[in-house]
Structure 1
Amino acid sequence: MIIIKAIIMAGGKGTRLKPLTCSMPKPMVPILNKPTMEYTIQLLKQHEIKDIAVTIAHLPTVITDYFATGKKWGVNLEYFIEDVPLGTGGSVKNAENFIDDTFIVLSGDSLTDINIEKALAFHKSRQSKATLILKNEPVPIEYGVVITNADGKVTRFLEKPSWGEVFSNTINTGMYILEPEVLQYYQKGENFDFSKDLFPKLLADEIPMYGYITEDYWSDVGALNSYTQTHFDILEGKVNIEIDGHQIEDGIWIGEGTQLSSQVILNSPVYIGKNCILQEGSKLDAYTVIGDYSTISKDVSIKRSIIWSHSKIGKDTHCRGAVICNNVETKKNVEIYENAVIGEGSQLAEGVIVKPDIKLWPHKKIDENTIVNQNLVWGTKASKTIFGYKDVSGQINIEISPEFASRLGTAFASSLKEESTIIISSDSFHASHLIKNALMTGIASTGAGVMDIGSVVMPANRFAVRHFKGNGGVHVRMDYTDHNLVHIELVDKNGANIQRAAEREIENLFNREDFKRCNADQIKSVIHIENFKDFYISNGMKLLKNISDLKRKAPTILISCKSEAIQQLTSEFLRSIGCGVQEDYRIKGFAKAKDYLMDMKQQVVMGNVDLGAMITEDGEKLILIDKQGRVIQQEKYDALTAMMLLKEGNKNKLILPYTSPYMIEKMAKDHNVEVMRVKSNPASIMNAMLSTEEQGISQYILSYNATWAIGMILDFLVERNMVLEDLVNEMPDLYYIKEKIPCDWQDKGRVIRQLVEDNESQNIELFEGVKIKDERGWALILPDSEKPLFNIYTEGFSEEYAQELSLFFREKVKELLKNQGQ
């Protein structure tokens, strides 16, 4: 074997692992009573790699005091300390003097049993300058995804992609085999990252760079769930490492000096460290790990839990799925539930209950019979995505409680710059007001300003944020289908939904409770805006050029919406511009919107109205019905509004989501108008529309403000002496199909990767999901960002072609879902 040197990156703070990492750097967090980094050193020694550099930054002496020169492990350790964070690449560059030939980079805070010899042989056989060690991961969105060709050559990088960008499930493990010359791209002391900075440059310069896909074990011990799962994997024998202690029977390891009462029950797999005491009646169920010098008292029950060293668990305590750090003491009758973490040195008195997901920071003292249902004092929550497709939603007083809302408001305000003002609103339900008030409390606690515009609709909040030059906005509304479901929507300073990067920042602040706090004299009074609805209506009227003509023609519109507030607002707006309005409240009696649309279509065709308009309950989307009974919704509505914009003649750019039909793009090109395709999430679409907004008809308003959009459409029609069916008659035929295929979350990355591989010779695009084109049209397979399913969009040059494409890719996805072996 070729002998090389190694660099272990051990500078991580372990923020997501707190409170496990309050007093130690992440590489020192114990796995089966040994620091995570110790396993990395043992792996290198196993492969005859003895010269090892260790890059350290956070609490460096904890690492150097434990490992010293490395003599105990038969290796030579040399330390390189960063005074300021340098990034993954910068930290390795800091150790450049240590490097003289090919070297391997490993992380001190991940666990692996990789066969380094095989990876090195791959690196040499490809004459690679940088080999990334990759792993297939079922749910890859929290990692960097790397795309390679059949020979293993790297062709593309995606850093923590959304589901729409998951073109493979092959992730970057953070382990690399490198040649020294690749570090010449940067200067020593520069802050740079391998995956974000160096590797893209190597790719652009066509430097030989390959991905070695390992089937060996690898786990990023970076969050509580992966930390506990790593223990379980070791106990199940999934990791090729030696477990310290005597295996007294299959799956049960006991350390030296440990005393077991004859009446102790052990259900494998179980690991117990050295010099522990287990008293009679105690029961350790599967996947329990006990640290050295710990005491388990009488009648204690522990399951799927990890208890560190020098802890004492009191009589009749029950512990389920928790982590208990060093030197913790619980008295009797304590209950600790799933995903709870008890910080080092904490003391839990008799009868304490620690609820699921609760984190106690080190050295907390909890009084008798206390129910702990919030983090003490600064917390980190096991990684959980708060945001859905476009908002935060959940059951009132269950997922979305006043406490939750207060924390969310605090996190949102903490993510904004100093001296921010947030515009807040809700619908008229009491539950919405409850959550709105809690949000305002959280926002105000940071010193940010709050402007309450009262009970209005979501588009009015967006308008208010822009009009008052707010730094962001929040709107709360109840769901009209599930009356206990509440929606909280956050917008940026433009009134558009916040981007995914902002969502991640808010989620991180929320989970860590890393909030801004202000003094009493910095708390601002809430500004209440009265009668904002009237102001909103008058500003909508200002957008129209032909109100006098509208009043003369007085078209009659049939309006329906599940939200009475939106229906009444729209009716008031339309009457103010001279329209006749018929309101239909019967929509609430229909289980499905499509069933009501059939009924509404008959009313429009047979009734004394000029057109029908059904508005979604958030007040943003619009479905039209013309006098001939044609229903214009979603893609047809987008095509109709695109025609209006093109006829207006002052639009220099049309924004289309990536899922939109090419028919609309062709219309734009026929008018010499540039088309800008964007990701299909609302934030990307809104921000792109707002950035290209011109005077006149607004694509943004037509797409996201149903009330004003109806006014704009009527204004456009009356100016040209047209009716809606005239415009619909001009629309080209559209052969477009949307379908949904259910799947497991873990299958998404695998299926997308297989689709990419199977269609490499085809005309494919990897902008969002996988778009495959042929002579019949195109198909887009897009993993849903919020639900366990695939969205399949197809458009054909004829109805027959569209059906063929849809059927083929629907069956293809189903086939791949069945084939678990690939």
Structure 2
Amino acid sequence: MKAIIMAGGKGTRLKPLTCSIPKPMVPILNKPTMEYTIQLLRQYEINDIAVTIAHLPTVITDYFGTGEKWGVQLEYFTEDVPLGTGGSVKNAEGFIDDTFIVLSGDSLTDINIKKALAFHEQKKSKATLILKNEPVPIEYGVVITDHDGKITRFLEKPSWGEVFSNTINTGMYILEPEVLQYYQKGDNFDFSKDLFPKLLADGIPMYGYVTEEYWSDVGALHSYMQTHFDILEGKVNIEIEGHQIEKGIWVGEGVQLNHQVVLNPPVYIGKNCIVGEGSKLDAYTVLGDYSTISKEVSLKRSITWSHVSIGKNSHCSGAVICNNVEIKNHAEIYENAVIGEGSSLEARVMIKPDIKLWPHKKIDENTIVHQNLVWGTKASKTIFGYKDVSGQINIEISPEFASRLGTAFASSLKEEGTIIVSSDFFHASHLIKNALIAGISSTGISVMDIGNMVMPANRFAVKYFKGNGGIHVRMDYTDHNLVHIEFIDKNGANIQRSREREIENLFNREDFKRCNADQIKSVIRIENFKDLYISEGMKLLKNIAAIKRKPPTLLISCKSEAVQGLTSEFLRHIGCQVQEDYRIKEFIEAKDYLAAMKQQVIARNIDLAAMITEDGEKLILIDKKGRIIQQERYDALIAMMLLREGSAEKLVLSYTSPYMIEKMAKDHHVEVVRVKSHPASIMNAMLNIQQDKGLSQYLLSYNATWAIGMIVDFLVTKDIKLENLVEEMPDLYYIKERIPCDWQDKGRVIRQLVEDNEDQNIELFEGVKINDERGWALILPDSEKPLFNIYTEGFSEEYAQELSLFFREKVKELLKNQGQ
């Protein structure tokens, strides 16, 4: 007699256990499920076995090979396209020459094949289905037989109203070769849905053999775990590898059990495991081979695969931990959680019940994981990035996540009030905005929706309507699945780091305000807010009439059509002749587009060109002569305008800003306020010294639409051209560089830089700033990415390059010397 093992299943319901292995290779007590099937066949002297494979076939063939290790002969038949259960067996028809048995590679059974075969022969059956009585049969195919065992009816996954029997189809069959003649090789068909109903209709003898032996479909997490528990309870007639040191406790060779280890049977410990002092392995715990359990660890009803490391004082209850997972100290992992292979959990991580981590996830220290992590690589208690919350739509930023985030933001308010919300025009942004609104409303806080607007308009609306804060949602124009959520305070500035941490803590603890039904307020929706925004921006300008008398020609471009359209409309209202350039989307790098834009400026005799960032906040200008004015030179331009106007008493500069701008201010006897480079710090400092009249450093820095109008208005008022202002600017020798690094290297490198330069003139306000006679260098770890930012400014171009080269190489050298 020959056998066919169906081993083509993907195991979708078992993910993430099956992300990198096919379902038959999922381990049970450290052996692939299919290995038990091969051993069962060998026990009944069925040595010629065909294996049908499809999903990740080499994982199976590499492990089992020819079958020699198990004393059988394996032959593989690969499905290039899905063929169904029947079609996969038909694909191996050349292997069949007589009565054969079909088994599943992803179920576990100890069935007495000899008795089943005898029943098949006695009944002269052409197709014998091996059946099992199941208390809850609705997840299976139900088979109805008469008193003689002859099959009379099939019900595929019936409802409770259709359950006329609790006898289910196990997917194991004893068949005669001729039953496969109903189909051609290559046809896609199932046994239960297609072939067996045809046999029944044609009166072909079919019988059901009801087995009393063990059978389990290892197709879902619950049944996968229960199968382990059943084996440990002795419900399955299979041999458990390892030495039983006392009843119900199996230990593999090379295991080290340290002092005061508590083992409450049944427990299984694989080969070469180490269990630390004071740890407790409670009932139904399974350890895979080469696992290391540190001190004072508690495991209960949990299954680990091989090469798992669990740090001291950790607790795991009712979870599955896949291969090569590292869990640091004081972790808490709860019922039905799954940790995918290769994942890393830092200290004090909590994985909530029913959470699934797909393979190779990195979870930061103190993080509480509330939702499944599928495609992203990292979860962190730190939700906020450099200036916003961002992530892949419906993966990292789902409606559920956004609703909780909105609730946390509203819960952080100290008083009742209103939150202003807005988004760009993308459907995905609307989805997230509406989820945020739902979360805010659940706290009893009022919401005002100003519709499809840009970030600076949200800032203005918060101030104009005296809101308690604002949220703006926009999609990224480089990665069309990336969503950004930006939060602002009642002044219109980004919220401070302390507020971000408060929101993160509320989010992670789910410590939310909630209100009764009668306290939930209607959402206030503002129509045509754009018109108000344009008219209020016009009020800031002094000489619109002069602009209209001699309108300058402007070229405007932005990846965001909403930002570009709004800016162009505003500038036309004040009298400018505006040309729009949409070619920016054809360029990957901004520098390449700027080179093309520069050519257009010269060719068309444009007075001023502006490339606006897609959030509508920042500007890069090009003057009539084609000179590009980027961030630091734009900051210097703003400073020149403020100093020339004469109304500024203080000038706010980021710690990373060039000293040249500071020198300009001091020459005009204007105080300079240096602040950290985080946008919230800069914005709040600017707003604290905001003048009631005249130019606004804040608006010139963070509202591109109004800033262009203010620049044009200034140039007209002073009767000066932009190119003349640029020519008056002092020389700037300033270089910015980025050096990639690992996250864990940041602190070590900064410490080493401080130690190596302690005799130098250094500042530790933000990063490490080193001053010498040539200029200065600032080495600043990036807050959002694994890299160092290096800023250098020299008193000459040569000095700037020398400093940049020296500290670039210094950081690279320190990154190599990990032993220090």
TM-score computed with the length of structure 2 as normaliser: 0.62
Question: For residue 490 of structure 1, what is the aligned residue in structure 2?
Answer: 487
1:317-336 to 2 correspondence within 5 Å?
none
1:648 CA displacement: 0.3
1:766 CA displacement: 1.3
Question: For residue 619 of structure 1, what is the aligned residue in structure 2?
Answer: 616
Q: Deviations over 1:416-436 (max 9, x none)?
A: 123121100000000000000
SS of match in other structure, 1:790: strand
2:643 equivalent among 641, 646, 656 = 646
Question: For residue 717 of structure 1, what is the aligned residue in structure 2?
Answer: 715
1:744 CA displacement: 1.4
1:725-804 to 2 correspondence within 5 Å?
725-804=723-802
Change (3 A) 1:275 1:728: closer
SS of match in other structure, 1:809: helix
Q: Deviations over 1:495-541 (max 9, x none)?
A: 00011000100010011111111111111111101100110000000
In 1, Cα distance between the equivalents of 2:270 and 2:786? 40
In 1, Cα distance between the equivalents of 2:762 and 2:626? 38
Question: For residue 579 of structure 1, what is the aligned residue in structure 2?
Answer: 576
1:627-642 to 2 correspondence within 5 Å?
627-642=624-639
Q: Deviations over 1:581-602 (max 9, x none)?
A: 0000000000111000000001
1:545-560 to 2 correspondence within 5 Å?
545-560=542-557
1:356 CA displacement: 3.8
Aligned residue identity for 1:637: Y
1:363-374 to 2 correspondence within 5 Å?
none
1:307 CA displacement: 11
The yes-or-no answer on 1:449 pairing with 2:446 is yes
Question: For residue 816 of structure 2, what is the aligned residue in structure 1?
Answer: 818
Aligned residue identity for 1:712: M
How many residues align? The count is 548
SS of match in other structure, 1:498: coil
1:735 CA displacement: 0.7
1:666 equivalent among 663, 667, 673 = 663
Aligned residue identity for 1:751: V
1:788 CA displacement: 1.1
Q: Deviations over 1:626-666 (max 9, x none)?
A: 11110001000010110000000111001111111111111
Change (3 A) 1:702 1:250: same
1:821 CA displacement: 2.2
1:803 CA displacement: 0.9
In 1, Cα distance between the equivalents of 2:747 and 2:297? 40
In 1, Cα distance between the equivalents of 2:561 and 2:528? 18
Question: For residue 598 of structure 1, what is the aligned residue in structure 2?
Answer: 595
SS of match in other structure, 1:732: coil
Change (3 A) 1:294 1:353: closer
2:292 equivalent among 279, 287, 290 = 287
1:749 CA displacement: 1.4
In 2, Cα distance between the equivalents of 1:275 and 1:391? 43
1:693 equivalent among 690, 694, 697 = 690
Moved over 2 A (4+): 246-264, 266-285, 287-314, 316-330, 333-341, 352-357, 372-375
Question: For residue 562 of structure 2, what is the aligned residue in structure 1?
Answer: 565
Question: For residue 130 of structure 2, what is the aligned residue in structure 1?
Answer: none
Change (3 A) 1:437 1:811: same
Q: Deviations over 1:641-695 (max 9, x none)?
A: 1000000011100111111111111111111111111111100100000111111
Is 514-523 or 295-304 further displaced after alignment?
A: 295-304
2:314–2:329 Cα contact (<8 Å) kept? no
Change (3 A) 1:527 1:340: farther
SS of match in other structure, 1:389: coil
2:274 equivalent among 269, 274, 282 = 269
SS of match in other structure, 1:791: strand
1:247–1:253 Cα contact (<8 Å) kept? no
Change (3 A) 1:729 1:646: same
Question: For residue 390 of structure 2, what is the aligned residue in structure 1?
Answer: 393
SS of match in other structure, 2:698: helix
1:760 CA displacement: 1.7
In 1, Cα distance between the equivalents of 2:708 and 2:317? 68
2:297–2:311 Cα contact (<8 Å) kept? no
Change (3 A) 1:274 1:578: closer
In 1, Cα distance between the equivalents of 2:798 and 2:463? 46
Question: For residue 258 of structure 2, what is the aligned residue in structure 1?
Answer: 253
Question: For residue 228 of structure 2, what is the aligned residue in structure 1?
Answer: none
TM-score computed with the length of structure 1 as normaliser: 0.61
In 1, Cα distance between the equivalents of 2:781 and 2:414? 34
Q: Percent identity?
A: 70
1:413–1:420 Cα contact (<8 Å) kept? no
1:774 CA displacement: 1.2
1:8-157 to 2 correspondence within 5 Å?
none
In 2, Cα distance between the equivalents of 1:747 and 1:524? 49
Q: Deviations over 1:457-485 (max 9, x none)?
A: 00000000111111100000000000000
In 2, Cα distance between the equivalents of 1:701 and 1:469? 18
Change (3 A) 1:702 1:323: closer
1:608 CA displacement: 3.5
Is 393-402 or 805-814 further displaced after alignment?
A: 805-814
Change (3 A) 1:531 1:284: same
5+ long unaligned stretches in structure 2: 1-250, 359-368, 373-377
| Root-mean-square deviation over aligned CA pairs | 3.7
1:286 CA displacement: 1.2
1:270–1:285 Cα contact (<8 Å) kept? no
SS of match in other structure, 1:530: coil
In 1, Cα distance between the equivalents of 2:624 and 2:304? 76
In 2, Cα distance between the equivalents of 1:593 and 1:813? 27
Is 751-760 or 399-408 further displaced after alignment?
A: 751-760
1:263 CA displacement: 7.0
Aligned residue identity for 2:773: E
1:258–1:273 Cα contact (<8 Å) kept? no
SS of match in other structure, 1:687: helix
1:777 CA displacement: 1.0
Aligned residue identity for 1:575: R
In 2, Cα distance between the equivalents of 1:283 and 1:565? 56
1:336–1:353 Cα contact (<8 Å) kept? no
In 1, Cα distance between the equivalents of 2:677 and 2:696? 19
Question: For residue 404 of structure 1, what is the aligned residue in structure 2?
Answer: 401
1:248 CA displacement: 9.7
SS of match in other structure, 1:733: coil
SS of match in other structure, 1:734: coil
1:726 CA displacement: 0.9
In 2, Cα distance between the equivalents of 1:312 and 1:297? 6
In 1, Cα distance between the equivalents of 2:706 and 2:515? 40
2:279–2:294 Cα contact (<8 Å) kept? no
SS of match in other structure, 1:461: helix
Aligned residue identity for 1:786: E
1:355 CA displacement: 2.4
Aligned residue identity for 1:710: I
2:252–2:271 Cα contact (<8 Å) kept? no
SS of match in other structure, 2:258: strand
The yes-or-no answer on 1:429 pairing with 2:426 is yes
Change (3 A) 1:250 1:588: same
2:297–2:312 Cα contact (<8 Å) kept? no
1:761 CA displacement: 1.8
1:265 CA displacement: 1.6
In 2, Cα distance between the equivalents of 1:280 and 1:383? 29
Q: Deviations over 1:686-732 (max 9, x none)?
A: 00001111111000010000000000000000112111101111111
